[in-house]
């Protein structure tokens, strides 16, 4: 497990706010599980950045001090 800084931008319940937290997770997939437990994925998708680089590999391992930014993309209709 790595202690990382997690930022969520544009989360479904806080549109323009920035949520920031320090969490202990092992990989990107665990971050996705954490987000889905907080924000059910009915109306949004997200882009994940690890230390400023876009990440698509959910199995990517994390290290202490990593910074993960999640930007949600809301779908409208």
Write out pLDDT tens, residues 55-66: 999 999 999 999
What tens digit of pLDDT does each residue of 13-23 get?
555 556 788 99
Q: Where do the structural domains in the chain lie, given as residue ranges?
A: 2-74
The pLDDT value recorded for residue 39 is 75
The pLDDT value recorded for residue 74 is 66
CB atoms within 10 A of CB 38: 12
What tens digit of pLDDT does each residue of 22-56 get?
999 999 999 989 888 887 776 678 889 999 999 99
CATH class of residue range 2-74: mainly beta
The pLDDT value recorded for residue 12 is 52
């Amino acid at each position: 497990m790595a202690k990382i800084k997690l930022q969520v931008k544009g989360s479904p319940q806080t549109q323009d706010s920035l949520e920031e937290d320090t969490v202990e997770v092992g990989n990107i997939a665990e971050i996705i599980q954490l987000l889905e437990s907080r924000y059910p994925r009915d109306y949004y998708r997200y882009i994940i950045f690890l230390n400023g680089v876009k990440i698509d590999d959910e199995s990517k391992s994390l290290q202490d001090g990593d910074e993960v930014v999640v930007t949600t993309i809301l779908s409208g209709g």
